[in-house]
Amino acid sequence: MSLAETARPAAAGEPGTLVEVQGLDRVFDLSRPWLNRLIERRGRIRLTAVDGVDFAIRRGETYALVGESGSGKSTIAKMVVGLLPPSGGSVTIGGTDVWAGRGRDEQRRMRRRIQMIFQDPFASLNPRWRVEAIVAEPIKVFDLVPDAGRRRERVGELLSLVGLDPRDGQKFPHEFSGGQRQRIAIARALASEPEFIVCDEPTSALDVSVQAQVLNLLRDLQKRLGLTYLFISHNLAVVRHVATRVGVLYLGRLVEEAPARALFAEPLHPYTRMLLEAVPDIDMEGIERQSIAGEIPNPINPPRGCHFHPRCPHAMDRCRAEVPPRYAVGEAGVRCFLYDPDAT
């Protein structure tokens, strides 16, 4: 059998898989009102933010999605946690479809299993609530600890777990630094005792020294509590530190997926190579590096075929007309005709 062949994501359907995303699409209608379109004789305007994305996450691992701004990372995160309905495809967590019609009780049980840590700790916490109320909210909503006294004790335990003092529960968010606020947000995410947490660029708004502290905290919590993460980031240096597997997004499509160690050692897709070339590396001082040419195209009118071909140094005529399928190369999957085993 050839090393490269068309294949599904390596982890999809395997025992131990917690999250499975199949054929995920999201299209936004940006059209003007019907009457305006009629008078101006204009058609609908649609933006495809996510285009047929497939991946799976095993229990206890960290799956990272990376790519430039506008690649669809945060849109996928919102669909996975149930904040934004997909236009097509499915998201399954623990064998249950997140978007399937369910009764209220079943929906509450599903929501408890999933939590999200947002990018900006300055905006994700209610400034009018004390920290104790913020962290206790999921506990109250899911009726995990009915007794108010025991609930306060549980909030103190959660604050201690993320490196804060239980007495900090009586303070307001404005009394904390950015890193401390993100620790509060992590404590709130843990309050419902979830299995799966989506981290949407949780360190991008923090200082570099604080970023390392928060990343180490997330990793320690994962080992201690057996958590599974979907980690969204545009910072490959951060991803190298936390990820088990990495998916590379470009204009809504997953162009490469591989174990983190393999991807950083030997990237396959030209876009992934360019992203890695852009990461500062003191060991490459004086060595000429290839920068990412051009800018990400307008997603309202994306290029035909492979979306990356206008910026790719290896583009062929085929790239301009056909969408590359997924080819398996060892443990990795890549959407690039350079790996077509039938190409001459």
The mean of the pLDDT values for the chain is 87
Rg (the chain; Cα; Å): 22
Q: Could you tell me the pLDDT band of residue 6, with boundaries at 50, 70 and 90?
A: very low
Within-domain flag for 224: no
Whether residue 171 has pLDDT greater than 50: yes
Question: 160-164, 214-218, 234-238, 302-306: which has the minimum mean pLDDT?
Answer: 234-238
CATH code, 316: 3.40.50.300
Each residue of 114-134: pLDDT tens digit? 999 998 888 889 999 999 999
What was the pLDDT predicted at 335? 96
Token pair for 194: 């979830």
Contact 46, 300 (CB under 8 A): yes
Whether residue 13 has pLDDT greater than 80: no
**Domain limits at 42?**
1-94+246-344
- pLDDT above 90 covers a percentage of the chain that reads 63
Count of domains for the chain = 1
Within-domain flag for 195: no
Whether residue 215 has pLDDT greater than 90: yes
Identify the residue with better confidence: 295 or 120.
120
Return d(Cα 218, Cα 241) in angstroms, integer: 11
Residue whose tokens read 């945060």: 74
Pairing mode, strands 228-233 and 196-200: parallel
Within-domain flag for 180: no
CA distances to 80, 94, 104, 105, 114 from 101, in Å: 15, 16, 10, 12, 17
What was the pLDDT predicted at 285? 47
Closest CA to 161 of 115, 105, 224, 215: 224
Q: Give all strands of the β-sheet with 96-97 in edge-to-edge order.
A: 46-58, 17-29, 88-93, 96-97
Within-domain flag for 153: no
pTM score: 0.88
Look at residue 270 and give its three-state secondary structure: helix
Within-domain flag for 213: no
First to last CA, the chain: 17
Within-domain flag for 7: yes
Within-domain flag for 57: yes
Return d(Cα 302, Cα 344) in angstroms, integer: 28
Q: b or e along 90-107 (b: 16 or more beta carbons within 10 Å of the residue's beta carbon)? A: ebbbeeeebeeeeeeeee
Token pair for 241: 């530190």
Token pair for 308: 């990356």
Q: How many residues does the chain have?
A: 344
Q: What is the largest CA-CA distance in the chain?
A: 72
What was the pLDDT predicted at 280? 61
Within-domain flag for 304: yes
Residue whose tokens read 């599903």: 110
